[in-house]
Structure 1
Amino acid sequence: MGKTMLEVQEKEREHHIPQTMSAGFLDRVLEVGIRQIPVPQVSGTEVLVKVMAVGVCGSDVHYYAHGKIGNRMVQYPHIQGHECAGIVVSVGERVKRFRVGDRVAIEPGTTCMSCRWCKEGRYNLCPEVQFLSTPPVKGAFVQYLKHREDFLFPLPDSLSFEQATLAEPLSVGIHAVRRGRIKPGDTVAVFGMGPVGLLTVMAAKAFGATTIIASDVEPLRLAAATKMGATHVVDITKQSVDDVIAGVTGGEGVDAILETSGNEKALQSAVPLIKRGGALVVIGFPAAEEVPLNITLMLQKEIDMYAVYRYTNTYPQAIALLAEGAFPTSELLTDFYSLDQLQQAMEQARTNKSGSLKVIVYPNPSSNDQP
């Protein structure tokens, strides 16, 4: 690293690492409390990050509102948050890639890197994954977070901490586009314009899709989709997405549909809208574990179906895309709260889908780095 341990310790003192820190706890459904807990100690390849910004994810809202996702149950009290970025304030003795003071994005899922799935490069399927905020693993609504160095990524100075939190949902979009084999010249449709859907539009555009049809029910989200690269937007309360796709493709169907909402009817309606030999990419989790699909039609059209679970090896590309500045991603950041206001932040994300896109929480008072 080029610095002696004495120099590192001196640099750490400059950051005034306290003994305790504030953390946001989900104490029960719809109830959040702020309490003091010890600041973690790091060793080996661990890095202590002063968390500067955390994005509120749809999964955070679901756990907050319902206490579970599928068979994953919250074990109260729980700490949520996984879309995060910050500043390195302490490093373990075997850390080689980072120094105190470095700005980093945090990939939230650390894996064993030795099982068959990790060795195949599909570490998102690692049975031993420790994913921030997924019960029982505690998350990033804390002032200081301990994380393994191989799941940290440097940030260019041009990228704000708030924008850097988008590397996580953008990674989902990149992984989905890779899985669906989107290529230059493709015509695709993206269903659901939450943050993941919007960033999937961005990823499809970055991968060369020339026609991108985005659908949702909220005008704010459809307007944002246009800014992220959608060529056509469909308010499904006023217009038929079937008619739009038929018109755009001459009745042939799109090369791929990327479904981010988890809406059962959206999934079922997608199959007839995909061209022969096209792809259905499923990103959003449906409320029901089993969703009937027209398998006969999928067979007749030889439609490929891809399931998307998180992502692998996407963070460098996500950070690079965000840093390029080709997409106005700062416009996706609509609401800003301190950690002490975490209850309000969660309520805003839960109840204001017509007026909010991405809610940002600042764990540290000095984190007001709004774009």
Structure 2
Amino acid sequence: MRIAALHGRQSFAIEEAPVPSIRPGEVLVRVVVSGVCASELEPWVEGPPAGEVRYPGHEVSGVVASVGEEVTSLVLGDRVGVWVTERGFAEYVAVRAAYCFPAGDGPLDLALAEPIACSVNAVEAADVRLGDDVLVIGAGFMGNLVQRLAALRGPRRLIVADARADALERARKLGATHVVDVTRESLPDVVRTLTDGRGADITFECTGTQSALTTCGDTTRMSGTIAIVGYHQGAERSLPLAYWNWMAFRIVNAHFRDLAVILRGMSVGMRLLSSGVLSMEGLVTHRFPLERIDEAFATLRDKPDGFVKAVITFPDE
């Protein structure tokens, strides 16, 4: 089988590797789509340490190609979203059956169970309640998912902020009650105006940047919640912690490492997706074959107009 191996800075090689063998309780999944995640961008830009080769890829969906002993929950041909931590940019992955979730009848390139789970868990951890005023800073892929899931909780205001006109237009079409172009308006002023001077009950930071993180403290009401959804890479971040302490913010780190939490998020997310309650329509905008994986990562880095999410696609036999 073919698999993408990261050898150096911005340099994948496509290698041949044996198809993984499966053990009891496992299945072999033929990969149809593997998403390109922002958490893998910096490792691609910087490259692995000298002499190391890495095999990234963790946003996999595909079709069950072989079933191991003791597996009763899946059969050949089942379409699934999969939990893996690496080696996802490959034609096959071997995975425990318990880590596979039904993808329904929709396109598999939209059945990205892992990022959907991240968004489900972020919204649940932030505890959006009926009538809340919610702010989403960042209208990229994760921001769009958070927006759609938060809307299911029945907020009064669902405000989305970004610096890109195309992203704001997309957020508007996804049902934002208000959008804010941060290059033209003061986000804290707009939020205060829309929330009777109080500030947002919950602010989701979905950009992974220092400026957005700082702004959260100016948009959130006293004793409100700041949920850090963006993946913060690179330089260390700084916060006016004395002010944040005084404001009594509840800070939610919306990144999860507990496997049970991750798997529950995947189960919930795929149930919402496969039933049509959650739509991923329009959120995957760029598709690349495995041979063009470096181009896919460059597209994520450069974010051309209209970009939301890039995926690597494999032939769907």
The answer as to 2:122 corresponding to 1:168 is no
2:303 corresponds to which letter in structure 1? N
- Between structure 1 and structure 2, the one with the greater Rg is 1
Which residue of the partner structure matches residue 151 of structure 2? Answer: 205
The answer as to 2:72 corresponding to 1:92 is no
Deviations 1:215-273 (A, max 9, x none): 11122222222233321111211221112101101211110111121211221221132
**For 2:285, what is the secondary structure of its paired residue?**
strand
**For 2:271, what is the secondary structure of its paired residue?**
helix
Which residue of the partner structure matches residue 156 of structure 1? Answer: 104
TM-score of the aligned structures, taking structure 2 as reference length = 0.91
Moved more, 292-301 or 331-340: 292-301
Which residue of the partner structure matches residue 142 of structure 1? Answer: 90
The answer as to 2:191 corresponding to 1:245 is yes
Asked whether the 8 Å contact 2:39–2:231 carries over to 1, the reply is: no
Which residue of the partner structure matches residue 346 of structure 1? Answer: 297
**For 2:61, what is the secondary structure of its paired residue?**
strand
State how 1:311-326 maps to structure 2 within 5 Å: 312=262, 313-326=264-277
The answer as to 2:178 corresponding to 1:232 is yes
**For 2:13, what is the secondary structure of its paired residue?**
strand
Asked whether the 8 Å contact 2:103–2:273 carries over to 1, the reply is: no
TM-superposed deviation, 1:74: 9.0
2:60 corresponds to which letter in structure 1? C
Deviations 1:50-100 (A, max 9, x none): 0011111112222211236xxxx6973222221111111111112121111
How far apart, in 2, do the equivalents of 1:154 and 1:279 lie? 33
Unmatched segments (≥5 aa) in structure 1: 1-20, 109-130, 133-138
**For 1:27, what is the secondary structure of its paired residue?**
strand
How far apart, in 2, do the equivalents of 1:342 and 1:176 lie? 29
- Are residues 300 and 286 of structure 1, via their aligned partners in 2, closer, same or farther at CA, if it must alter by over 3 Å? same
2:52 corresponds to which letter in structure 1? Y
Percent sequence identity over matched residues? Answer: 29
The answer as to 2:282 corresponding to 1:282 is no
- Are residues 75 and 359 of structure 1, via their aligned partners in 2, closer, same or farther at CA, if it must alter by over 3 Å? farther
**For 1:333, what is the secondary structure of its paired residue?**
coil
1:248 corresponds to which letter in structure 2? L
- Are residues 328 and 203 of structure 1, via their aligned partners in 2, closer, same or farther at CA, if it must alter by over 3 Å? closer
TM-superposed deviation, 1:281: 1.0
Cα RMSD, aligned residues only: 2.0
Asked whether the 8 Å contact 2:2–2:16 carries over to 1, the reply is: yes
Which residue of the partner structure matches residue 24 of structure 1? Answer: 4
**For 1:330, what is the secondary structure of its paired residue?**
coil
Asked whether the 8 Å contact 2:134–2:201 carries over to 1, the reply is: yes
- Are residues 257 and 74 of structure 1, via their aligned partners in 2, closer, same or farther at CA, if it must alter by over 3 Å? farther
TM-superposed deviation, 1:343: 2.3
**For 2:211, what is the secondary structure of its paired residue?**
helix
Unmatched segments (≥5 aa) in structure 2: none
Asked whether the 8 Å contact 1:104–1:155 carries over to 2, the reply is: yes
TM-superposed deviation, 1:48: 0.3
- Are residues 315 and 43 of structure 1, via their aligned partners in 2, closer, same or farther at CA, if it must alter by over 3 Å? same
The answer as to 2:82 corresponding to 1:82 is no
2:237 to 281, 288, 291: 291
Aligned residue-pair number: 312
Moved more, 198-207 or 266-275: 266-275
1:308 to 234, 254, 261: 254
Asked whether the 8 Å contact 2:104–2:275 carries over to 1, the reply is: no
